[in-house]
C-alpha cells in the first residue's frame, strides 16, 4: 500500500504542476496521466477481487 500512496502523491503533484502551468498540457502528458490512473485502478481492483474471492472461498456452505 505504501507504493500506491507514493504513486498517488507523485501523480497528485504532477497534476498540480500541470494546473499551475499556463502553457497547458500536451497530449502525451494526458496519455501518461491516464495510463497511470488506469494502472492504479487495475491494481486496486485486482487486490480487492483477490481478497473478496479469498473470503468467499473460505465460507463453509455445508450444513
User: What is the reported pLDDT for 21?
Assistant: 63
Alpha-carbon dihedral sign for residues 6, 8, 11, 17? negative
Helix count and strand count (H, E) for the chain:
2, 0
Instruction: Give per-residue pLDDT as tens, 25-47.
Output: 687 888 888 999 999 999 999 99
Could you give the 3-state DSSP secondary structure of residue 25? coil
Per-residue pLDDT, averaged over 50-61, amounts to 93
- Spell out the domain ranges in the chain: 2-57
Higher-pLDDT residue of 5 and 59 is 59
For 9-29, write each residue's pLDDT tens digit.
Answer: 888 888 787 777 655 668 788
> Which is more confidently placed, 3 or 29?
29
Amino acid at each position: 500500500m505504501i507504493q500506491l500512496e507514493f504513486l498517488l502523491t507523485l501523480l497528485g503533484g504532477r497534476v498540480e504542476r500541470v494546473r499551475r502551468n499556463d502553457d497547458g498540457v500536451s497530449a502525451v502528458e494526458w496519455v501518461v496521466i491516464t495510463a497511470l490512473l488506469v494502472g492504479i485502478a487495475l491494481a486496486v481492483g485486482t487486490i480487492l477481487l483477490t481478497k473478496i474471492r479469498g473470503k468467499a472461498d473460505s465460507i463453509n456452505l455445508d450444513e
